[in-house]
Amino acid sequence: MLRKSPDLKRFLSSRFLYPLLLSTLLSVGLFAFRVSYSGKWYYDNLPWNLFLAWVPYVCSVWAVAWGRLYPSRWWMLLLPGALWLVFFPNAPYIVTDFYHLEKRPPIPLWYDIGLLTVFAWTGCFLAITSLRAMQMLVRRWTNRFVSWIFVAIALGLSGVGVYLGRFERWNSWDLFLHPTRVLEDLAVPLMNPWNNLRFVGFSLVFTAALLVIYVIFVSVTRGGEIDPSRESAG
């Protein structure tokens, strides 16, 4: 069971928690230094966006933990799985914060490029590690082919979600608060793609980029990866 300290540490390590925490601390540290040195709160959206990027990761850990504790109760994974899918676009969304990059003295431009890069890569790695965990759970209940279909769908929805967040200014929780309006903003470009090339182009490019990053991650980590479906229950 996860209550055993060595087993818990092994479980968290297999979820890449410690390097993700290190990257998060670096991100927050760079931002804190910027605020302290300049006395201005430029890019104050970055810590909030990074917090939101942790939400799908936490949901994936929740799902994997329940999968271990209740291996025969697949329906218990529906809640964390649904929350993961809704909040998943928040993780790679940070990449689009480069949209705000400009010279902001007294901080040199190169520092802000580094600041945004660290936040962006932390968000991307939170995204791909959580996606890998969810893919392995899907594979446990289905097969390898279906799990990759799941990956493609999740990344495609993420590309659309990031577009809705950046250009339409919707948040993940708006799916619960204003579902009709969100769906309307999504239906218009889907029904008229040739008149909404920004939507199509952005969603496809973002999805393709995330897919390549994800495939590289899977290829690099496959040798030492732990399949959630095969981990010992302790």
Q: Say if CB 24 and CB 123 are below 8 A apart.
A: no
Region 185-198 average pLDDT: 84
| 9: in domain | yes
pLDDT in tens, 161-184: 999 999 888 888 888 888 888 888
Q: Say if CB 84 and CB 134 are below 8 A apart.
A: yes
Please check the confidence at residue 223 and state whether its pLDDT lies above 80: no
CA dist 21 and 67 (Å) reads: 23
pLDDT in tens, 133-167: 999 999 998 899 999 999 999 999 999 999 999 98
Q: What is the pTM of this model?
A: 0.86
Q: Say if CB 30 and CB 116 are below 8 A apart.
A: no
pLDDT in tens, 40-59: 999 999 999 999 999 999 99
Structural domain count, the chain? 1
pLDDT in tens, 121-131: 999 999 999 99
Instruction: Please tell me what DSSP assigns to residue 104.
Output: B
Domain encompassing residue 165:
5-224
